[in-house]
């Protein structure tokens, strides 16, 4: 991997981690088109630390308030004493499905499911599901039904969105895409669905990145070039990721996710065409 490729991977990771278009898909498609080779699941997981830091910085006030409330609740033996504490435990509960299924199907996720055919199907499949969620949201608005904000997320909402997050283990589905979709289905407004999606991603992204860094440390850090590429890609992903969060939250205040749905259809169909013609394998 060259330094230029590492920078491109960092830009792709930061740009597509938070937009509902799948970072894993683009980190497989772009190198396949240019003949660079698959950067690998371990590299992908580690450079997610950059986007993790972007979430930590962007939502630092919310995260500090939640952590303080959780710790204060534990010390006072009253874990659910405030809304912030409840939110912290909801995030923990919503993380369980992705952790359990991630460990159970780890081998398949890192090998078989990284197939470009699987990614193409996931791109198109989630586009259809996200379209259905948008139609449900549109009907709620037309019926003048209340859409939930972050403070109104329930335990059932958190668990259902957590189950949706587990679908993101399939490359091409998109972590933010499936969790935003889940949020729309349970009645959250678009901005709230995105905010909860980002907060919910913190534990699983940290765990996945730390696990892969420890397990694959000799391979990832075996040469000076490897270390430089990994650090550069991670830094770039963090900077671009922060800007992506700011863009998406502002965009969803006034717009639907139809542009991302259309994009997913186009990329999925184009990928199938390239595979069928043998342009990429």
The pLDDT assigned to 70 comes to: 94
Dist CA 101 CA 119 (whole Å):
18
Q: 25 lies in a domain?
A: yes
Cross-strand partners of 188: 148
- At residue 226, the pLDDT reads 75
pLDDT of the residue at 225:
57
How many Å apart are CA 199 and CA 87, to the nearest integer? 10
Q: Residue 42 falls within a domain, yes or no?
A: yes
Task: Name the stretches of the chain with pLDDT < 70.
Answer: 41, 216-217, 219-225
Q: What is the pLDDT of residue 39?
A: 78
Question: Does 281 map to a domain?
Answer: no
pLDDT at 219: 66
In a domain, 177, yes or no: yes
Interval 146-158: pLDDT, tens = 889 988 999 999 9
CB burial class (10 A; 0-12, 13-18, 19+) of residue 110? middle
**Considering its fold, how many domains does the chain have in total?**
1
What is d(CA 24, CA 116) in angstroms, rounded to the nearest whole number? 11
Please report whether residue 61 resides in a domain.
yes
Residue 203 lies in a domain: yes
- CB burial class (10 A; 0-12, 13-18, 19+) of residue 256? middle
- Residue 195 within a domain: yes
Q: Please give the residue range of the domain that contains residue 140.
A: 3-276
Please state, in angstroms and rounded to a whole number, the distance separating the CA atoms of residues 175 and 70: 25
Residue 201 has a CB neighbour count (10 Å cut-off) of 25
User: What is the three-class DSSP state of 188?
Assistant: strand
């Amino acid at each position: 991997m060259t330094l230029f490729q590492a920078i491109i991977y960092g830009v792709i990771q930061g740009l597509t981690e938070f937009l509902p278009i799948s970072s894993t898909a683009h980190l497989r498609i772009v190198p396949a088109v240019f003949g660079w080779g698959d950067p690998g699941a371990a590299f992908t997981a580690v450079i997610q630390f950059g986007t993790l830091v972007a979430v930590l910085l962007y939502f630092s006030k919310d995260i500090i308030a939640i952590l303080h409330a959780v710790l204060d609740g534990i010390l006072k033996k009253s874990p659910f004493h405030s809304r912030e504490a409840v939110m912290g435990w909801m995030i923990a509960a919503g993380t369980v499905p992705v952790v359990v299924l991630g460990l159970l199907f780890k081998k398949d996720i890192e090998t078989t499911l990284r197939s470009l055919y699987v990614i193409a199907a996931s791109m198109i499949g989630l586009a259809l599901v996200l379209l259905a969620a948008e139609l449900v949201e549109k009907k709620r608005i037309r019926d003048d039904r209340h859409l939930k904000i972050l403070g109104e997320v329930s335990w059932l909402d958190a668990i259902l969105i957590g189950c949706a997050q587990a679908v993101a283990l399939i490359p091409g589905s998109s972590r933010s895409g499936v969790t935003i979709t889940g949020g729309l289905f349970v009645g959250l407004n678009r901005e709230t669905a995105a905010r909860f999606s980002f907060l919910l991603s913190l534990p699983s992204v940290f765990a996945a990145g730390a696990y892969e860094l420890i397990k694959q440390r000799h391979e990832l850090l075996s040469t000076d070039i490897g270390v430089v590429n990994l650090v550069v890609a991670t830094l770039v992903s963090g900077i671009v990721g922060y800007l992506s969060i700011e863009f998406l939250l502002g965009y969803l205040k006034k717009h639907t996710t139809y542009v991302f749905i259309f994009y997913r259809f186009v990329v999925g169909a184009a990928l199938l065409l390239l595979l069928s013609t043998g342009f990429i394998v």
